[in-house]
Amino acid sequence: MNRKQLTVLSMMIAAYALTTLLTYALFVDQLAATAGIPMPEMGVSDTVLGLANAGIVLVAYGLLGLGGYWLARKLNLPGIYSEDGNWRRWFLIPLLLGLACGLFLLVGDVAFARINGFGRLVHPAFPLSILASIGAGIGEEIMFRGFVFGLWAFLLDRLFQRLFKHAKRRTEAFWVANGIAALAFGAGHLGTVLVLTGASSLSALDPVLIAEVFLLNGVVGLVAGERYMRDGLVAAAGVHFWADIVFHVLWGVL
């Protein structure tokens, strides 16, 4: 395995663990207020709770990250980052795409608020929103682009090789996997919606709200997945991070 790639992956996971620690140690009240439910009494200090969750992040996302990187190598994908030395591909392009995705989320939020039976989506309070943007940009991309996308791309690539023995279908396998990962990314936000709305089950949610969650998150997931295929996990995390900065931080403050 490439040591430089693994070093960058380790730095990303360490940054995610640090944001987790800071969230629980300094902003646990804001976190509870955002969710609209009181934090259960754990019998330990907020700092200890943060350290415990940071440890979980290091282990769980370390395994997911390594698994995703192994799959990327098997599929000849960039992996953690593109090594061609072109900084625009892992910073500038993700920045521009992320800003565009953030504006898309903003417009979609306003449009759906009139018909989704809930209103505008809830944002973490500032400055917790910045930590949440960093954590989501790293953690969710490791899970959904690195691992979920990678696993489905690997399986579909093998399947398509058997079905189409005389034609290369790796690109098609990648885009189907990207769609699956984007849907999983959208589904991953339904739990938060249940908490925010107080609904006891998905059947209690307005179908328009469910469609909104899948559409808005799915589009961001597809864009991040396209960057992951081209330039690696850092680029995908960049798209996600900047989209959240526009939507959750800037729009949340306004």
In this prediction, residue 108 carries a pLDDT of 97
What count of residues does the chain have? 254
187-200 tens-digit pLDDT: 999 999 998 888 98
pTM: 0.95
Spatial separation of the C-alpha atoms in residues 53 and 58, rounded to whole Å: 9
In this prediction, residue 118 carries a pLDDT of 94
- Domain range for 230 is 3-253
For residues 81-105, give the mean pLDDT. 92
In this prediction, residue 80 carries a pLDDT of 97
First to last CA, the chain: 45
User: What's the token pair of residue 94?
Assistant: 């993700």
pLDDT over 90 (residue 177): yes
Vertex 161: Cα angle to 155 and 162 (nearest 5): 95
pLDDT over 80 (residue 104): yes
In this prediction, residue 91 carries a pLDDT of 92
Spatial neighbors of 142 by CB under 8 A, at least 6 apart, are 12, 13, 16, 61, 64, 65, 68, 233
CA–chain centroid gap for 240, Å, is 6
Spatial separation of the C-alpha atoms in residues 29 and 65, rounded to whole Å: 30
Spatial neighbors of 50 by CB under 8 A, at least 6 apart, are 20, 21, 22, 23, 24, 25
Spatial separation of the C-alpha atoms in residues 155 and 153, rounded to whole Å: 6
CB-CB contact of 96 with 174 (8 Å): no
8-43 tens-digit pLDDT: 999 999 999 999 999 999 998 888 777 777 777 777
In this prediction, residue 31 carries a pLDDT of 81
Residue 162, helix vs strand vs coil: helix
Domain count for the chain: 1
Measured CA distances, 146 to 28, 30, 71, 182, 202 (Å) = 29, 30, 8, 12, 27
Q: Which of 41-55, 207-221, 226-240 has the lowest mean pLDDT?
A: 41-55
User: What's the token pair of residue 236?
Assistant: 């995908």
pLDDT over 90 (residue 5): yes
- Amino acid (1-letter code) at residue 117: G
User: What's the token pair of residue 138?
Assistant: 């790293």
pLDDT over 80 (residue 247): yes
- Amino acid (1-letter code) at residue 250: L
For residues 194-222, give the mean pLDDT. 95
Q: How is residue 126 annotated by DSSP? A: T
> Which is more confidently placed, 35 or 92?
92
Composition of the chain by helix, strand, coil, percent to 5: 80, 0, 20
In this prediction, residue 96 carries a pLDDT of 98
User: What's the token pair of residue 176?
Assistant: 């189907």
In this prediction, residue 168 carries a pLDDT of 78
In this prediction, residue 169 carries a pLDDT of 86
40-71 tens-digit pLDDT: 777 789 999 999 999 999 999 999 999 999 99
Q: Which of 71-75, 119-123, 139-143, 232-236 has the lowest mean pLDDT?
A: 119-123
In this prediction, residue 50 carries a pLDDT of 95
- 78 prior amide bond cis, ω within 30: no
What is the greatest pairwise CA distance in the chain? 62
